[in-house]
Every structure is written in C-alpha cells, then in structure tokens.
Amino acid sequence: MSAAQYIIDANPGSVFIFSGDLNLPDLSWSNDDFGLIYSSSGPAIHCVPDVFACNNFFQLNHIPNSNGNFLDLVFSNDFRINIEKFVTGVVPCDPYHPSLVFMLTFVDDLPSIDRCHKYYNFRKACYPRISTFLSSFNWLETLATTDIDSATCALYDALHYCVTSFVPLVVFKPSKFPSWFSKNLKNIVFAKKEMHAKYKALRNPADYNKFSNLRAQYKYYYKKCYKTFLDNTENKLKVNPRLFWVFVRKRRSSNGIPNSVHLNDLTATGPESISSLFSSYFNSVYVPSPASSLPDIPFAQHTLPSDCIFNVDDVENGLAALKNWVKVLGSKSAVVPVPSGVPQGGHLSPLLFSLFINGITKAVPKCRFLMFTDDLKLFRKIKSEADCLALQNELDSISLWFSTLGLQFNTNKCKAMSFTRRRLVFDYSYTINGSELQAIATWAFFSLPI
C-alpha cells in the first residue's frame, strides 16, 4: 500500500483507479459524500481500506460473486465511474471473480497551466538591515560629486542590492485545495495525513483513535466551509451578478455550438455554413409585407396620436432600412433585410410597437379590451344571443385588422371564458380564422389564477 500512496502523492489532481483481487471477504463496503466506509465481521485488516479512506477514495464495485462476497475491489477518487457486470464474455465466467465493465462517464478537463513562479516577499524583508545598509552611504557626497545619470545608477544599484540580499525569494504554487477550504480545514487535512502515517508505522490504537477523530473533524468542517462558500456566493450574486457571469465564462470549456448542425434535411459543417444556416432559420420568422389581395377594412391600418411629429411612412422607411446577419464561431453570414418587426432591445422598440397597434380601438369599437405588450383580452357583457354574435363579429374584425398589419393570432393560446352567477349560460362557440376557441373555467393571468 505504500506504493499506492506514493503514486497518489506523486500525481496530485489526477483521477486514479485501483482495482484487483484483494481477497477481503470479511469487509462490507459503502460510500458517503467523502469516501468509502467499511466494517469488518472478522479480524480487522486496516492497511488497505485506511489508505484509500484517508485519501477520500470510493469503493465502486458492488457486484458480488457467486458466494455473495466482494473479492475484486475498485477504488477511485472519482465517484462518476460506474462498474457493471459484463454479460457477453469470450471465456466462461469465473464464479468467484465476475467480469466487470468500467464505464467512464466523466469528461476530461483541459490541461492545467503551471502557474508556479518566484517572487520577492517584501512582507518578510529585513527592513532594519536595509536601513543600516542605506545609511552607510554618504548620499550627499555621492549625489553632489557625480552627474545625474551616475547618481541615479548608484541609487538603483543600492536598492537592487537591498532587494536581492535582504528580501526573501519565495516560490508561489497554486493551492491544490478547493476554493472553499479554510486555513483550519487545510491544517486538519495535514494533521490527518500525519497521524495516519504515524499509525501505520507504530500500529498504536491510540494513534488510530486520534486519526478517526481528525477524520470526523474533516467531514464536519468540510460541510461547514462548503455551506459558507455557497452562502457567500449567493449573496455576491445578488449584489454583483456580473462577477458570476465572468466566472462562468472563464470556466466554460466550449462555446456550446457543435461542429455540425442540422435543420430539417439540411446539414452544415464549418463556421461559414453554420452561420448561413442559422441566418436562414432566423429569417424564416420575418413576415413579408401584407399582400395587396387582402380585403380593405373600413378604418385606417395605423392611427397615430395627434401630437406625433412623424408619419407612418417615416416609421416604415426607417424599419425597411434594417439589416440582419448572424455571427457564429467568428464567421458572419450574408446580410439580409428585415421586412418586419422592430429592433430587439432597442430603446424605441416598445414605443414603435405601441404606435403600430394604436388603431386597435377602431378595430373593436363594440368591445372593451385589456392589453399588455402582445397579450390581449376582449370582453363584453352577454345578455342575449345577439350579444354573442356581436362579440364574434368583433373577433372577425380584429383578426382581419391584424392580418392587414402582417400579424396573426396564435389560436392555440386563445381561449374563451365566461363569468356569471346564473345557472344557465349562453353556449356559443367562438372562432378565430375558422379555429374554434377552447372554453375554459380557469386561467392564469400573469401567474394569477382567475
């Protein structure tokens, strides 16, 4: 087991898998969040499980042999490795040692960059000796008898000697511990390893009790430090969410776009073809100009307020000049016109949309309505079947009006709902563009049930 410990210490940050026939049938195995847990029904053999438990390894083989024992053990410091029984073997299966399959489901991390470097630690510099050394010079005579260049060189040489002689040069090595490990938790880890090594050398039960106590402290403070780290992260996210996204972008291993994308029967590979395929998909949502074959309506398509200093033609000409392109993996698609809609995220886009549908009051003069952005609710008091027909006429009128604007209703989201205290209600089927509206009893209005 000393060889296994040497391999673990010599390769920090690596994923290890130790497997073999260790012939420990008297031990039962389980795992928690921090590593393996074992118990013995016979003479205790501590050397094998203690080494792996000290390094927070897991015992991953839970497939017993024909006698119900676990002779072949698999130890790893990565719990994402799955062990399954191999069914279709090329040779007859050994009843004492069933064939196993190792399923490595984790993704290899990017190679880490060695950030070790040396620097002068001025916090531990010997400033009394620096002061004594600088005081030994007659600076008045040095600066008065030499030119400015020589005096500057003399001062720099003295300061350079002070730094190299009285300031310690240390080597910076990035911590191998997770970021939430406190200094106390790190000290517990070192003490735990030291006590475990002492117990292996002397086999003193008192040392093993101290090791068990340190291991329990490690688990407790590990959970405590990790919870504190999560709480601090959540608080910082509320105060400055930008730091969170900076962290995400730094840890992101890929841009999330595969090398090959598909749209219906089309396949694109490479940045240029992928950007063009995205552009063709986005352009499919634009609605062309209304066809001239649509029937005329008895009121204006657009009604602007009386205090507007521009007309409809100004807005249409401005939107007609909009262009669109898609950039994927550093490659831009061809520029295409935008025949409909308003610029997404534009400061004037909400105002332009409100002006665009400002004439809705003339499209439904016999109904009242509630509207928020693109959510519209028409309502009318129904006292007779004639009122039902009037409401249906208003639905047909507003549907026609939207068609002339190049808009359309999503009939799958349109519902009909009645509010009454009477036992008998008018059973009328309302339609939009020939699609019958579903009658419902409850509806969520901005997450509020009505």
pLDDT tens-digit series, residues 302-361: 566 666 666 667 766 776 677 778 887 778 888 887 766 666 666 777 777 777 777 787
Phi and psi, residue 377, nearest 5°: -130, 120
**Confidence (pTM):** 0.36
Q: At what angle do helices 205-239 and 241-251 cross, to 10 degrees?
A: 120
- The chain-wide mean pLDDT, for the chain, equals 81
Q: Is pLDDT above 60 for 253? A: no
Beta bridge partners of 417: 440
For every residue of 293-346, DSSP letters joined together read TSPP-SS-S----TT-SS-HHHHHHHHHT-EE--EETTEE---EE--SS--TT-
Distance, CA of 246 to CA of 188 (rounded, Å): 32
Residue percentage of the chain with pLDDT more than 90: 17
Distance, CA of 30 to CA of 303 (rounded, Å): 74
pLDDT of residue 293: 47
* Mean predicted confidence (pLDDT) in 374-382: 86
Distance, CA of 291 to CA of 404 (rounded, Å): 8
* Mean predicted confidence (pLDDT) in 2-23: 83
* Mean predicted confidence (pLDDT) in 217-237: 89
Distance, CA of 230 to CA of 223 (rounded, Å): 11
pLDDT of residue 110: 47
Winning range, highest mean pLDDT, from 27-31, 145-149, 201-205: 201-205
Write out pLDDT tens, residues 155-164: 899 999 999 9
Identify the weakest region by mean pLDDT among 69-78, 114-123, 281-290, 326-335.
Answer: 281-290
pLDDT of residue 302: 59
Distance, CA of 72 to CA of 179 (rounded, Å): 35
Q: Is pLDDT above 80 for 402? A: yes
User: Hey, what amino acid is at 290?
Assistant: P
Q: Is pLDDT above 80 for 277? A: yes
